Amino acid sequence: MNNFLETMRRRDFLTRASGGVGLAGLAGVLAADPFAAKAPHFAGKAKNLIFLYMEGAPSQIDLLDPKPALAKWHGEPLPPSMTKDFKFAFIKPNAKVLGCKRPFQKYGQGGAEFSDWISAWGPIADELCIVRSMHTDAFNHQPADLILFTGHMLPGRPTLGSWVLYGLGSESRDLPGFVVLSTGKNNMSQSAQWSSGFLPSSHQGVLFRRTGDPVLYLSNPKGVTAEEQGQDFGLVGELNRARLDKTGDREIASRIASYEMAARMQLSTPELLDLGKETAAAKAAYGLDQETTRAFGTNCLMARRLVERGVRVVMVTHSSWDQHTELEKDLKKNCDITAGPVAALIQDLKQRGMLDSTLVVWGGEFGRTPLGDFRNAEEAKAGRDHHANCFTMWAAGGGIRGGVTIGKTDDLGLHVTEDPVHVNDLQATILHCLGFDHTRLTYRHMGRDFRLTDVRGQVVRKMLA
């Protein structure tokens, strides 16, 4: 009886809240296109986001934040006073220092410093805003993934791409508003990086596969004609709308929109995947003519093509950069795979006049320690442990000031010493570039308003153009 009365109260509230139009009218509101473009809080300089996620955490010490002072400590432990407050995932505070063997060079008018393994970024140096003073709360992968993409270590919250799609909608009618492209192996968090959490499921990322249909079941089964499929869609649509009229469940509205999007994708996806109109020079720049770079390079090229077609958010992941061992071999391998295509993406966007409206972010969930991980007892096979206290990311494009390096770390790469930037600050800055006050982009769930930046986050003004 209590459940019946509660249901009747809820229906009465929905009827009143919808201006007397009843549940059928409310269902019509809920069934409105959830992918439609929306206005931000103010005119943001960026319209789209491409997040180049290097899952597993690249070593900033060997790529973007040179520490020549490590050489004198190489093979020796640091004094306990310098490591007493550190939390390490695997090594002990008395682990030996691992110096960096990489030569660094300055590039561009801003003097960005890159190691030889990412020298391909030299031509794009003045487009990048390099942030050496990133820090986070977690020193293990899954919780650090969650903080970077959802603002909090607890699972179940919407990710960055879902928040952006929720706030801005999509300009594409025929493709998902949030697309995920992945290469590499051993991605440890996977869908947690593109989940819509408690937002409607229409805002979740759609993973495009590298083999077969890019999205599961995109093609009709053998023997099923287009006419038969249309009849099936029609019947399912009628049943879903009848249920929506009865319950007002937002998830049913999302389901209807997803079915309709899937039907449109059967027509739009083949054109998207057809690279025949791309020039030979473009394909070569992205590395499509080389086995090492072909898969990741194709994803970077697809990111540009998706943004061209109105897709709001593209996440390009490559895993894994979790080099606890074989740092010299495996870190170089990842750089060989990704550095050239990333540079090509930035140059391509700029050449096409798209970089000013496309925000590109590169980085991992945390950094790596200056102390070595010598689990194999061979220095030649040593790696680095997880390091949450300081790491490096960069941003380029819409609303970002290029040719600058922000923040500093100490001589050994242990602590941030200038302009600390928490991952929540980065999230606030990304949303600002897209036209949002991060404190106002909220969604009411379980009785309170949630936001991407949780309960903190400040826009990093030094990053803004």
Q: What is the pLDDT of residue 87?
A: 85
Q: Does position 14 have pLDDT exceeding 50, yes or no?
A: no
Q: What is the pLDDT of residue 67?
A: 98
Average pLDDT over residues 156-164: 97
- Residues of the chain with pLDDT > 70: what percent? 90
Q: Does position 9 have pLDDT exceeding 60, yes or no?
A: no
Copy the structure tokens of residue 172. Answer: 């594409």
Average pLDDT over residues 36-56: 96
- 369-405: pLDDT as tens digits: 999 999 876 788 999 999 999 999 999 999 999 999 9
Q: Does position 443 have pLDDT exceeding 60, yes or no?
A: yes
For the chain, give every domain's residue range: 48-214+279-463
- 87-118: pLDDT as tens digits: 899 999 999 999 999 999 999 999 999 999 99
What is the CATH code of the structural domain delimited by 48-214+279-463?
3.40.720.10
Note the pTM of the prediction, 2 decimals: 0.88
Residues 6+ apart with CB under 8 A from 423: 134, 135, 136, 147, 148, 151
Looking at residue 219, its amino acid is S
- Residues of the chain with pLDDT > 90: what percent? 73
- 296-353: pLDDT as tens digits: 999 999 999 999 999 999 999 999 999 999 999 999 999 999 999 999 999 999 999 9
Q: Does position 24 have pLDDT exceeding 60, yes or no?
A: no
Residues 6+ apart with CB under 8 A from 296: 183, 287, 316, 318, 337, 338, 341
Q: What is the pLDDT of residue 23?
A: 39
pLDDT grade for 8, boundaries at 50, 70 and 90: very low
Of the ranges 32-41, 146-155, 301-310, 394-403, which one carries the lowest mean pLDDT score? 32-41
325 - beta bridge partners? 382
- 239-282: pLDDT as tens digits: 878 887 888 777 787 777 766 767 777 777 888 989 999 999 99
Q: What is the pLDDT of residue 248?
A: 76
- 162-206: pLDDT as tens digits: 999 999 999 998 999 999 999 998 777 678 899 999 999 889 999
